[in-house]
Structures are given as C-alpha cells and as structure tokens.
C-alpha cells in the first residue's frame, strides 16, 4: 500500500473533481476521523454482534465466532480494491459512480439499484433491532406495536440530525464511534477479564449443536453472523466530496474500519460467550435475547442501564450513517438523471445536504418497518438476509469491474495504490471471496416451505426485475453526458497532471 505518485501534491480536491467532470459543490467539512467514524458506526460491531449473537450460537454454537475472522479477512480484500478505486474517483455516491467509470451506465445502474434497496432495507433492520434496546432503556414492555413505534422514532431522529448538515452528522458519528468503542472493546475486555464464567475451550466445541450430525453444515449456517457485520466501510466513499484530501484519507478510513471493527466484534462476541451464566440455553435456542441477561448479571441493574444508553446511541448513529450513505447515492444517481424524480432528489439544501434524497432514504425504511409489523414472525431476519445479499452483489459488481478494467490495462492513478502485482492479486482474491459469500447468502433454506426457503432470492429477483424493466423501458440517463467507462483515460489525465 503506497502513496507514491501522490496526486494531491500537484492538484487540489476541486481540481481533481474537475478532471472527473464535476464542480466542487459540497462543503469539505469532514475530517479523516469523522469519515472513519461514519464507516465504523455504519459497520457497527455492537449492532452486528447484538443482532445475530443468539442466532449464530443456536445454529453452530460458540465456534461461530470464527466467521468474524473469515468474513473480516475477505472484506478487507474488498476494502483494498475499493480504496484504489475511490482514490482515483473520489465522487459522492460510491458504488454507482465507481461502477459507471469502470464499466458503463447500464451496468452501474443495475448495481446501484440493487445496492440502494439493500441499504434502505438495512436501515429498517438496524432501526428495528435498535428498538429492542430502546424499549429496555425506557422500561417499555416489548410488543409488536412498541417495536414499530420505537423503530419509527429512531428513523425520525436520525433524519432530523442529518438535515442539520454535514458537521452535525460528523459530530454524531464521532459520538457514535465513542459509544461503539466503549460498548464493544471496553465492555468486551471487562467481561473477558473479570466476568469469565466459561472455559476458552467452548470456542472449539459445538456443545451438541451439530444439526443433523454434520457440523460443517451447521457452521456454514452461522455465516450470517459475520456476513451481516462487515459492510459499511464503503460509506466512507459515499461522502467523498465532503472530505478533504479524499484520495488519501478515504482508503485508510475504509481498511481501518474493517480492522478495528473486526477486533471490536471479536472482543464483544467472545465477552458475551465467556460471561454467559447459562450458555447451553442460548446454544439450544431457549434464550433468543440473552445479552440483556448477561449484562445484568455482570454489570448489575445500573451498569446494564448505562450500557443501554451506549447501545441506543450506537444504533442511532448507525441509522444516521445509513441514511447519509443512501442519500448521497440517491443524489449521485439523480445528478446524472438516472432516477425518476431526479430533478427533485438531485438538489442540495441551504445547508448543502441532499435533503430530498434524505427524505426518500428515511420514508421508504419507515414503510418497510410497517410491512415487517404486519407480516409474519421471522420476517425481520429474512429482510436482513436480503439486504446483506444485495450489498454483497453490489460490492462484487465493483470488484468485477475493476478486474475487467485491469485486463484492459488500467493501473489505478490515485494516491492509494497496491502496486501492479499487489493490485492484481488482491482484486482476484476479493472476487473469489465475494462469489463464495454470495453463495452462502443465496443458498436456499431447508425448511420445506418454498417461500420461506427462497424468500431472499425471491426478493432479489423482484428488485432486479423491476430495475431491469425500468432500465430498458425508460432508458435512464439517455439525455445525460455523464462520463462512463473512462478509467483508463482518467488515469492518464491524472498522471499527466503529476507531470
């Protein structure tokens, strides 16, 4: 990883953006740490571990923790590919402009269409999971009604904070970062050192949870625990036009999000396992919400309440980061006239935030929350699985496009570089990992009920099908001159500017 051949020593951020065909419209008020905080709170190890801790243990027992290492390693490869791409193309919107400049408008449109819906559904899922923490904090008896109301409150508060502007968003993200670090690293270490009730050997035994006698199948079934955790780092690139020196800072923020997020998740997951007073009940699926009990046993009533405050802060910050990332993608899409209502969503408010796109990124998750409320039990987990699959597909669209462009002679010309050989190796491994991850996510269940087993694929087919129909009937972007498939030309221009 090298900064050799730095572009920034020869051109400023506005000049780099001009080479890419855009004016410098946003305020560049986001520091490196604020950018890292945005990605970290979107990835949110606290949210990821809490949301699927009990599910992972009930499927594969304590060894499911190893999915954090497996998925973290795979997604680190993806983040390095993204780092090279965003360093050359530091444009608002992330996935969409990257795929467009590496391949073309239609390819990018489909990737971004799937990604938008995946992010919107993820926003719903995170707010819904956060409602459980909020109800515990407020001593509200859990019910379907309270779950819906508190989910909508989290979505609404995050929207108001986003409306306040980039500085407010960055400030809340930094507060969320502090809450995450204290809620996962500090708490995880405390549980491991002072509240250990189980032996380290539990991480190497399924505790009788081997499915139908085949532990490999059970272990693979717990992959969702890691797969749900390791995305969000791409949000660092979604706000590229609001960051100073983005070509150097954003790649670093991305891979640090993965590394620090992975360590945090490991400490958190391990801490809960080791401090559990009745681990076998979780593994047997008898306790599907065990963390509050673990915390009360380990921290006492007051300590558990303090943690709930930290957790609600982390969930709120995660929702805010999701809304911010989704709105920038919608804005980028609309700026290139690629969506219905593009004139309305492609506007910036007086505070220089895409306010109309923010509304869309908040209202649709609210509608999905109502659907989850009236739908059958278990729908939230299926919704989550669809969101994760959609995001991994969008990620791999960029990874594949980057590899295709390398075959055509592209050598990334941003400030962040893996070198020629390193870039090829990482890109190939990242694609191989992504295909494996998508297989794990798309693999049908085995309940015997068609809709239940194939709901994730059904959702993907519907979203992709509607997107394809709109793409070929409405032909979005036919009147725009937005550049596409120009990674080679842009790289040459940037090298020419370096002299």
| pLDDT per position as a tens digit, 252-268 | 999 999 999 999 999 99
The structure's pTM equals 0.86
Element (H, E) at 272: helix 246-275
Decide if 359 is inside a domain: yes
Q: Give the number of other Cβ atoms within 10 Å of residue 373's Cβ.
A: 17
pLDDT of residue 210: 64
CB contact at 8 A, 425 and 496:
no
Read off the tokens for 244: 């100073």
Decide if 42 is inside a domain: yes
**What pLDDT digit, counting tens, does each position of 445-456 carry?**
776 777 677 878
CB contact at 8 A, 116 and 272:
no
CB contact at 8 A, 151 and 128:
yes
How far apart are alpha carbons 111 and 3 in whole angstroms? 29
Decide if 3 is inside a domain: no
Decide if 61 is inside a domain: yes
How far apart are alpha carbons 339 and 117 in whole angstroms? 13
Structural domain containing residue 21:
13-498
How far apart are alpha carbons 196 and 125 in whole angstroms? 31
pLDDT of residue 7: 43
Q: Residue 439: give its domain's CATH number.
A: 1.20.1740.10
Decide if 70 is inside a domain: yes
Give the residue from 85, 386, 66 showing the smallest Cα distance to 233: 85
- Give the count of domains, the chain: 1
pLDDT of residue 399: 97
Residue stretches of the chain with pLDDT short of 50: 2-10
How far apart are alpha carbons 153 and 316 in whole angstroms? 10
Question: How far, in Å, are 36, 335, 392 from residue 78 at the CA level?
Answer: 17, 27, 10
Decide if 7 is inside a domain: no
Decide if 148 is inside a domain: yes
Decide if 2 is inside a domain: no
CB contact at 8 A, 38 and 170:
yes
54 half-sphere exposure, CB direction, 13 A CA radius: 17
CB contact at 8 A, 231 and 384:
no
């Amino acid at each position: 990883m090298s900064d050799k051949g730095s572009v920034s020593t020869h051109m400023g951020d506005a000049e780099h953006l001009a080479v890419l065909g855009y004016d410098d419209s946003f305020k560049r008020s986001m520091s490196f740490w604020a950018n890292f905080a945005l990605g970290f709170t979107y990835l949110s190890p606290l949210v990821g571990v809490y949301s699927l801790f009990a599910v992972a243990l009930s499927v594969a027992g304590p060894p499911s923790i190893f999915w954090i290492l497996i998925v973290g390693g795979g997604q680190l490869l993806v983040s390095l590919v993204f780092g090279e791409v965003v360093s050359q193309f530091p444009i608002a919107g992330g996935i969409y402009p990257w795929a467009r400049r590496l391949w073309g408008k239609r390819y990018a449109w489909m990737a971004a269409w799937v990604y938008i819906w995946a992010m919107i559904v993820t926003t719903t899922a995170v707010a819904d999971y956060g409602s459980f923490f909020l109800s515990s904090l407020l001593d509200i008896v859990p019910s379907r009604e309270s779950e819906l109301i508190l989910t909508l409150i989290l979505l609404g508060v995050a929207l108001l904070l986003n409306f306040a502007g980039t500085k407010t968003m960055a400030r809340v993200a930094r507060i969320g970062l502090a809450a995450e670090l204290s809620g996962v690293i500090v708490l995880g270490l405390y549980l491991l050192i002072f509240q250990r009730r189980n032996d380290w050997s539990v991480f190497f035994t399924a505790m009788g949870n081997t499915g139908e006698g085949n532990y490999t199948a059970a272990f693979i079934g717990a992959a969702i625990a890691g797969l749900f955790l390791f995305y969000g780092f791409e949000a660092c690139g979604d706000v590229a036009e609001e960051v100073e020196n983005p070509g150097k800072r954003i790649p670093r923020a991305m891979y640090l999000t993965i590394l620090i997020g992975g360590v945090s998740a490991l400490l958190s997951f391990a801490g809960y396992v080791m401090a559990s007073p009745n681990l076998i009940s979780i593994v047997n699926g008898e306790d599907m919400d065990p963390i509050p009990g673990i915390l009360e046993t380990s921290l006492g009533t007051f300590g558990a309440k303090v943690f709930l405050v930290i957790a609600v802060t982390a969930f709120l910050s995660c929702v805010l980061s999701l809304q911010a990332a989704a709105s920038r993608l919608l804005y980028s899409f609309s700026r290139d006239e690629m969506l219905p209502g593009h004139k309305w969503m492609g506007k910036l408010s007086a505070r220089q935030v895409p306010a109309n796109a923010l509304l869309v990124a908040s209202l649709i998750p609210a509608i999905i929350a109502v659907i989850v409320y009236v739908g059958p039990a278990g729908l939230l987990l299926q919704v989550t699985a669809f969101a994760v699959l959609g995001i991994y597909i969008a990620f791999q669209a960029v990874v594949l496009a980057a590899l295709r462009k390398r075959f055509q002679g592209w050598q990334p010309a941003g400030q962040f570089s893996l070198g020629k050989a390193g870039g090829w190796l990482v890109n190939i491994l990242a694609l191989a990992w992504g295909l494996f991850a998508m297989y794990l996510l798309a693999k049908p269940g085995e309940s015997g009920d068609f809709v239940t087993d194939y709901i994730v694929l059904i959702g993907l087919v519907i979203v992709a099908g509607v997107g394809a129909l709109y793409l070929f009937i409405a032909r979005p972007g036919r009147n725009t001159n937005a550049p596409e498939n120009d990674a080679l030309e842009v790289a040459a221009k940037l090298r020419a500017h370096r002299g």
